[in-house]
């Protein structure tokens, strides 16, 4: 049986394609696969493992520049790996699509009322809201409700862009915990601000992940998930535009601004906590 030697173990988010091309050019046979949320590079000989580690360090330090001829295409295996590396994010997107379809396909009103923050019944053509009365799933489920094509498309795209990166550095269980806390805070913020009503969408969670992605790397530099400043400027600018009411004036409908702001602040706090704890764990190790 062929004895393989581990040369590298890095975050699954890292793009190792340039390094792989360089190793092929130098005749270093290798394989890259996922294991426990990490990308692992293995080679046939121990001395090759040392060479790969040295090339990786030089490449990341900027001492070695790797030029790719033409535009590299991702293999189906690489694309599958990216999806499989963020199962919680994928599940949340699918649940959001399910919530959108309930509304788009005009599902029975009782189904919708089962997912809102507070239960309601239609009396005389108007919704009459009740109390949660121990139905604690309602603290979370409004995030899956989406009321239009733009709503679900943009939230799903941002959820994948931000959520997948976060999940790959914090892991599946921590990602699930982040989602639950941010969803709870954003939904509760909207309820406290506007009272009983029908609101929903993953936007509060998206803003929470945005705040997490910005703050966490300040405490844990190994987490290379910080959004570009232009993206932060756009997202914060959009939040301000929504909060001053300009979006409603233009006819885009009501916006759950409190959910957005509550999610953002919650994500920033969680980013500081998670990043600091990870940094302290690294220092002790």
Catalytic residue set: 203, 260
**Bridge partners, 31 (sequence order):** 42
**Whole-Å CA distances, 106 to 57, 101, 112:** 56, 8, 9
Nearest to 143 by CA among 165, 168, 118, 115: 115
How many residues are given for the chain?
285
Distance CA 47, CA 283 (A): 29
Distance CA 186, CA 194 (A): 12
Distance CA 261, CA 236 (A): 10
Please name the residues in contact with 146: beta carbons below 8 A apart, sequence gap of 6 or more. Answer: 96, 99, 100, 103, 152, 155, 200, 201, 202
The backbone torsions φ and ψ at residue 121, rounded to the nearest 5 degrees and listed phi first, read -135, 150
């Amino acid at each position: 049986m062929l004895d393989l030697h581990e040369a590298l173990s890095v975050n699954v988010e890292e793009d190792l394609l340039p390094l792989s091309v360089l190793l092929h050019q130098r005749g270093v046979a290798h394989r890259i696969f996922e294991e426990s949320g990490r990308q692992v590079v293995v080679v046939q000989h121990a001395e090759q493992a040392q060479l790969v580690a040295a090339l990786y360090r030089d490449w990341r330090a900027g001492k070695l520049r790797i030029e790719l001829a033409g535009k590299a295409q991702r293999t189906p295996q690489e694309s599958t790996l990216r999806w499989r590396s963020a199962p919680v994010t994928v599940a949340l997107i699918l649940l959001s699509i399910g919530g959108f379809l309930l509304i788009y396909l005009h599902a029975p009103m009782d189904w919708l009322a089962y997912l809102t923050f507070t239960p309601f019944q239609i009396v005389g053509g108007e919704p009459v809201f009740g109390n949660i009365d121990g139905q604690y799933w309602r603290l979370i489920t409004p995030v899956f409700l989406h009321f239009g094509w733009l709503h679900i498309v943009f939230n799903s795209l941002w959820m994948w862009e931000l959520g997948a990166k976060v999940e790959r550095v914090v892991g599946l269980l921590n990602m699930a915990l982040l989602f639950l806390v941010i969803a709870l805070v954003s939904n509760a913020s909207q309820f406290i601000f506007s009272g009983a009503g029908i609101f929903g969408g993953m936007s509060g969670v998206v803003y929470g992940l945005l705040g997490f992605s910005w703050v966490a790397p300040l405490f844990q530099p190994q987490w290379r998930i910080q959004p570009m400043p232009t993206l932060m400027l756009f997202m914060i600018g959009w939040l301000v535009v929504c909060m001053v009411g300009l979006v409603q004036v233009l006819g885009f409908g009501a916006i759950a601004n409190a959910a957005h702001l509550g999610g953002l602040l919650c994500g920033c706090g969680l980013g500081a906590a998670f990043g600091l704890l990870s940094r302290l764990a690294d220092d002790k190790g």
